[in-house]
Amino acid sequence: MRSHYCGTLDTSLIDQEVVLCGWVNRRRDHGGVIFIDLRDRSGLAQVVFDPDLPEVFAQAERVRSEYVLQVRGRLRRRPEGTENPSIPSGQVELLGLELTVLNAAETPPFQLDEDDVGEETRLRYRYIDLRRPEMQRRLMLRAQVTRTLRRFLDDREFLDVETPMLTKATPEGARDYLVPSRTHNGSFFALPQSPQLFKQLLMMSGLDRYYQIVRCFRDEDLRADRQPEFTQLDIETSFLEEDDVMSLMEGMVRELFAQVLEVALPEPFPRMTYAEAMHRFGSDKPDLRIPLELVDVTDLMREVEFKVFSAPAIDPAGRVAVLRLPGGGSLSRKEIDDYTAYVARFGAKGLAYIKVNALASGREGLQSPILKFLPDAVIDAIIERCAPVDGDLLFFGADKAAVVNDALGNLRVRLGHDRGLVEHGWRPLWVVDFPMFEHDDKSGRWVSLHHPFTAPRVAAPEALGAAPGEVLSRAYDMVLNGTEVGGGSVRIHDPEMQAAVFRLLGISDEEAREKFGFLLDALRYGCPPHAGIAFGLDRLVMLMTGSASIRDVIAFPKTQTASCPLTDAPTPVNERQLQELGIRLRRPQV
């Protein structure tokens, strides 16, 4: 139906006959000549209709926005002074000789160049929203990303293997999407949160190198930028140590950025331990573009009489830290109050501060309600350690270490963006040496920081129980500009070690057999050492396109409430379907 795409027309085709198909982006009537900007996914082409061809001209007069057209014409150079250098076809125009209206269009619910369309409306009419050039560029870049990743892995002898969508509930079963089985009445499948166990089984099968671009499902609590179904690049390898996997994967990401964005990422990526990341940035996914760091002053506060500082300072689980904001002395009281309310979201009970007005004046050159609680020696030590200059502001966090890290770590990012401190470019990072376990105070149990199949950095199973909180894992996360884009680990390949991890997590032998019997059996039949990683494809593409949300890089996403305005899913089903599945709904009591 067409000979060329709209965005491919250029001066090399002048005087040639061209056939285009596309949507009417805009129609203009200038002094008896009609101009139509025709749009397809490649871009725009200007089509001109002269009254010299009355029938064609009359058709062009009836055309409106979003009509679908086929146009045959002859390409010519635009008159001098009318060129449009902002589009590839801006040097030429098509003189329309024939016009066929392939389909008319009603007035759309919003114009493609509107900036203030609500997200609910955009998602309800997603097929119109996706016509916007910006959205099409994002999806085309996403396709280029997956193509580049596949090529890299195919060239290195990875096998693309599909794993089941209908599987067994996982350890985090409360977040599974359940699928009732009609043929096994009363039983349910679960949609996979990840192919974790199956990819490990593939390594036990001898396939050596596996990958898959796979849909995963998680029925999580409502969060601003999460999707109930998401896509990840899943990878597993045999006979590779963590350094081998990390080197291979950062090579893949370097090639991805070079091919798609023409950006050279550093070689090698820097590495940072989990402990260092939390100590310096309050986060295990620090954004290294922001030149702000936390400074620990716990030891300086143990002897002060101010209990707000001294209590967490003497608590083994506590921390007192400072975040220095260059030029922060200019912040108003209202701005400081706003930041105090912000850190309260993360559990902070307040946000103490000191404004540094004139260092040379000693205590008199500082401004803060907390100065009266701090002796001169402590103030001098804080100044020496934090190294502020005149005009700076010091924010303090004092609480349990987890609260301080969460509050000041998030404040660091907020200040970096609010104050224009974020450096341009890309700052990749590997975070390594994560704790194997963390203690859940509510349940009184140890839980896995990653998942229970991650290998610990100990040789013998007996070593796990001595001090679980001090055991490190062989896990590694790839962080890019403050976002975790990939996470992986060396896996447990010894059945005794796997059983020991389960027991430490409070999973009895019977429960482990019930949930993971197939994995435990497979471990007994010659399991190779193996390791892997999974990349969040949606989040990676979001970063590469500069989008504000992962919903902008998914063709048909769900809302923040995990619903689909386009199809009105989820919806109730009729009683007959429920009876066939052996399900009876229990209505909530009022």
| Percent of the chain predicted with pLDDT > 70 | 98
Confidence check: pLDDT of 225 > 80:
no
Per-domain residue ranges of the chain: 11-103, 121-272+528-584, 290-422, 435-472+494-527
Q: Are 6 and 38 in contact (CB under 8 A)?
A: yes
Strands 159-160 and 209-217: parallel
CA 234 to chain CA centroid, nearest Å: 15
b/e burial code for range 388-416 (CB count within 10 A of at least 16 → b):
beebbbbbbbbbebbbbbbbbbbbbbebb
Rounded average pLDDT over 107-118: 93
pLDDT tens digit string along 154-190?
A: 999 999 999 999 998 765 556 899 999 999 988 999 9
Based on the number of CB atoms within 10 Å of its own CB, is 8 exposed (0-12), middle (13-18) or buried (19 or more)?
A: middle
- Number of Cβ within 10 Å of residue 499's Cβ equals 18
For residue 133, report the phi and psi dihedrals to the nearest 5 degrees. -55, -40
Name the pLDDT band for 103 (thresholds 50, 70, 90): very high
491: annotated binding-site residue? yes
pLDDT at 91: 97
pLDDT at 30: 85
Based on the number of CB atoms within 10 Å of its own CB, is 32 exposed (0-12), middle (13-18) or buried (19 or more)?
A: exposed
484: annotated binding-site residue? yes
Tally the C-alpha atoms within 13 A of residue 68's C-alpha that lie toward its C-beta: 7
pLDDT tens digit string along 507-523?
A: 999 989 988 999 999 99
Confidence check: pLDDT of 31 > 80:
no
pLDDT at 113: 92
Q: Are 282 and 408 in contact (CB under 8 A)?
A: yes
pLDDT at 589: 74
pLDDT tens digit string along 242-269?
A: 999 999 999 999 999 999 999 999 999 9
pLDDT tens digit string along 405-439?
A: 999 999 999 999 999 999 999 999 999 999 999 98
- Lowest-pLDDT choice from 41-50, 206-215, 437-446, 562-571: 437-446
328: annotated binding-site residue? no
Mean pLDDT across the chain: 95
Q: What does the chain come to in residues?
A: 590
Three-class DSSP category at 37: strand
364: annotated binding-site residue? no
For 197-237, the DSSP string reads HHHHHHHHTT--EEEEEEEEE--PPP-TT--SEEEEEEEEE
Confidence check: pLDDT of 222 > 70:
no
Q: Which residue bears the tokens 């089941």?
A: 164
Residue range 121-272+528-584, CATH number: 3.30.930.10
119: annotated binding-site residue? no
pLDDT at 221: 74
425: annotated binding-site residue? no
Strands 318-325 and 393-400: antiparallel
pLDDT tens digit string along 355-397?
A: 999 999 999 999 999 999 999 999 999 999 999 999 999 999 9
Confidence check: pLDDT of 223 > 80:
no
Integer distance in angstroms from the first to the last C-alpha of the chain? 60
pLDDT at 280: 98
User: Any idea which fold 11-103 has?
Assistant: OB fold (Dihydrolipoamide Acetyltransferase, E2P) (2.40.50)
pLDDT tens digit string along 302-342?
A: 999 999 999 999 999 999 999 999 999 999 999 999 999 99
537: annotated binding-site residue? yes
pLDDT at 440: 87
538: annotated binding-site residue? yes
pTM above 0.85, yes or no: yes
227: annotated binding-site residue? yes
pLDDT at 410: 98
Alpha-carbon dihedral 149, 152, 156, 162, rounded to 10 degrees: 20
Q: Are 497 and 461 in contact (CB under 8 A)?
A: yes
* SS3 per residue for 530-564: EEEEEEEHHHHHHHHHCCCCHHHHCCCCCCCCCCE
Alpha-carbon dihedral 511, 522, 153, 193, rounded to 10 degrees: -20
Confidence check: pLDDT of 130 > 80:
yes
pLDDT tens digit string along 472-505?
A: 999 999 999 999 999 999 999 999 999 999 999 9
Kind and range of the H or E run holding 22 = strand 17-30
pLDDT at 586: 86
Q: Are 403 and 347 in contact (CB under 8 A)?
A: yes
Radius of gyration of the chain (CA): 30
Distance separating alpha carbons of residues 40 and 96, to the nearest angstrom: 17
Residue range 290-422, CATH number: 3.30.1360.30
pLDDT tens digit string along 401-411?
A: 999 999 999 99
584: annotated binding-site residue? no
Q: Are 396 and 355 in contact (CB under 8 A)?
A: no
